[in-house]
Amino acid sequence: MAHAHESNIKRIWVVFGILSVITIVEVILGIIKPESLMVSVLGMKLLNWIFIILTLVKAYYIAWAFMHLEGEKGSFRWSIVLPLLILIPYLAFILLVEGNYIHDIYSEGYISWDF
Angle CA 77–81–85, to nearest 5? 155
Identified binder of other proteins from the candidate list 36, 39, 42, 107, rule CB under 8 A:
107
110 binds other proteins (CB under 8 A): no
**Residues within window 29-68 making contact with other proteins, judged by CB under 8 A:** 30-31, 38, 48, 51-52, 54-55, 58-59, 62-63, 65-68
Q: Please say whether the beta carbons of 86 and 43 come within 8 A.
A: no
**Residues within window 82-101 making contact with other proteins, judged by CB under 8 A:** 83-84, 87-88, 91-92, 95-96, 98-100
Q: Please say whether the beta carbons of 56 and 48 come within 8 A.
A: no
| Phi, psi of 45, rounded to the nearest 5 degrees | -60, 145
Q: Distance (Å, rounded) from C-alpha 21 to C-alpha 31?
A: 15
Q: What is the SS3 assignment for 44?
A: strand
**Interacting residues with other proteins (CB under 8 A):** 1-3, 5, 7-9, 12-13, 16, 19-20, 23-24, 26-27, 30-31, 38, 48, 51-52, 54-55, 58-59, 62-63, 65-68, 72-73, 75-76, 79-80, 83-84, 87-88, 91-92, 95-96, 98-100, 102-103, 106-107, 113-115
